[in-house]
Amino acid sequence: MAQEIFKRYEKKYILDETTYRYLFFRLAEKMSPDSYGEHTISNVYFDTPEYELIRRSIEKPIYKEKVRLRAYGKVKADSTVFAELKKKYDGVVYKRRAEMTLAEAYEYLYRGRRTAKDSQILSEIGYSMNFYGLVPMAYVAYDRTALFGKENSELRVTFDRKIRCRDWDLCLDHGDGGVPVLPPGKVLMEVKIPGAMPVWMSRLFSELEIFPTSFSKYGTFYKMRLCGQLGGERCA
């Protein structure tokens, strides 16, 4: 079972279509597209029935955490998915994730049954699940294009389109439909860096008057007051 640990800074930006296309062209001088091309990422976020984690996150505390289940592309019962524990402390993002099949994830995260592939990371995720009493609360999907640095592959820029969310059918293999959370023609860009932003990138953003913003896909959906209104259907 593959396990991954990330430590990095993440900055977010909202772009219009014209700025996105020109920036993408300029970034090609220093960055390359990843091998997946544009692909769909789908997630189920776990929270308390009162949305304690996302409400706390919106308040921008010095420390916050989230638990989610993530998949790439079309999802079936035997698809590979990732259970993730993501923490942010004083601006630094720490992410730990464990690979499993979707069927195993449903057993572990939805039904609370330990799996044969238990690990330290899964134990930490299980602790957070039990400590807060987490259950599936929101589905979030988007179409992503990603770039990585030619000189530093840990420098990544992602562009997310058609961000959609739902609080019903909270299963990754039940299609990727949902309610849009960004206006038409807008793109969410995220810059993921292990340390300081490269000087060339800072200068490029300054030239194009691109400035960071605070944006959470799940948080935006929660603030739209759609979470919990339609009676989320849990996977049995």
Domains within the chain, CATH numbers bracketed? 3-223 (3.20.100.30)
Residues 20 and 190 sit within 8 Å (Cβ to Cβ): no
pLDDT at 155 > cutoff 90:
yes
Residue 230: pLDDT band (50, 70, 90) is very low
Whole-model pTM: value is 0.90
Is residue 216 exposed (0-12), middle (13-18) or buried (19+ Cβ within 10 Å)? middle
Rounded distance, CA 76 to CA 201, Å?
Answer: 39
Rounded distance, CA 134 to CA 68, Å?
Answer: 10
Return the pLDDT at 213. Answer: 95
Residues 127 and 108 sit within 8 Å (Cβ to Cβ): no
Residue 115: pLDDT band (50, 70, 90) is low
Return the pLDDT at 225. Answer: 58
Tally the C-alpha atoms within 13 A of residue 111's C-alpha that lie toward its C-beta.
11
**What is the overall mean pLDDT for the chain?**
90
**C-alpha dihedral sign at 154, 157, 160, 165:** positive
